[in-house]
Amino acid sequence: MPKINTRQLILAAVLTILVYGVIASMLGTIMPTFKLTEEQNGNIALAQALGLVIASLSVGPLIDARGKKTALVLGLGIITAALFSLPHAEGYGQHMAVFFGLGFGGGVIVTAANSLASDIGESRRATALNLLNLFFGLGGLATPFIAANLLSGDAVALCYLAAVLAAITFLLNLVTPMPAPTGGQSVKLSEAARLLGRPSLYLLALFLFLYVACEVGVWNWLTKYLIGRGIPETSALNILSLGFALGLLVGRVVVSRILINVSSINVTLASSVLMAVTTYLMLNTSDPTIAWIAVFCAGLSMAPVFPTTLAIVGDTFPRMTATAFGIVITCGWIGLAVSSRIIGSIANSSGLGRALLLIPVFSVVMILVNLGLRPTLKKA
């Protein structure tokens, strides 16, 4: 076994999450160039979500048995191929196929990279995962910002730029020595049964389901919604990047310090309350400046939820951690699929503004789930 270099390991995980941030905001950034109906755009988002679901559901046992490196190289290889093929996609069906590939590769690398970071920062898992996932916010910020301000909306150039980044990250993960699998060569049925018998697993899965439905609703639909409110396309893209994505990035830097003294469950409760307020305000303005402030605050409030929820999973399930991650993250991607389909359908009949009210409603439900989760964590 080659000697493991922790710095190289961290760099590999960071670049992987950066790549995921880029592809997560890709659809919302280039969607206005598709010239498709709202329902077709929703179905493309659904295809990406299905890829995420299938990948994250199956990759957990693979990581526990074969290690993180196998999963990271597999996922990044699929993403690189999909990004290079995206500029050549023609029509509705080919776009669905490419975004399914991006979703599948994304589901693999998110589970693997967060499992890797969870092992590296075991003593302060919530802080480590928030610091890792701030690079998701950086990728999400860079994609619409570069598209609007450096590439003049050139979707083809944006795809190739993202593909080169993914290829570099693929090569780095390929040559980086990584720890051996933590779960042995096979997953024991008795351990799997104990894992699946824990109520906290399902409540955490539901919580992430609701959260991802909210976050991806912003990534995929906010630009189009703001344009429909009369805000110019360049301004709308900048609100997504320098508002929402920057809020995610700044929020994760700030909360990484807060989590040293405040429990993860309390941080996620506060975030849920703030999400309900800020996302409702975000949907009720046509002024670009006020919209930016509301969207930035929405990004701040959402910032801790995904990584901090995974930290709770890691603390609650020290055995078969990657499998638990896979199950919880899979439910998150199901939230993406459900929200995209519902938003697209409602927008087709009643308008995008009414459809996006799903986001603050789901945020309120997150508060209730968080309160219900607490007794199960204390019992565990």
For the segment 85-137, what is each residue's pLDDT rounded down to a tens digit? 998 888 888 989 999 999 999 989 988 888 888 777 666 777 778 888 888 87
Query: Which residue in the block uniquely carries the two structure tokens 């993860």?
Result: 264
Residue 305 pLDDT more than 90? Answer: yes
Model confidence at 165, in pLDDT bands (50, 70, 90)? very high
- Phi, then psi, of 317 in degrees rounded to 5: -125, 80
- Given this model, what pLDDT does residue 219 score? 81
Domains and CATH numbers, the chain: 6-178+194-379 (1.20.1250.20)
CA distance 171 to 192: 33
List all residues 6 or more positions away from 223 whose beta carbon is below 8 Å from its beta carbon. Answer: 28, 29, 31, 32, 144, 233, 236, 237, 239, 240
- Mean pLDDT (the chain, rounded): 85
State mean pLDDT over 6-34. 86
CA angle at 213 for the pair 148 and 74, rounded to the nearest 5°: 75
Contact 55, 107 (CB under 8 A): yes
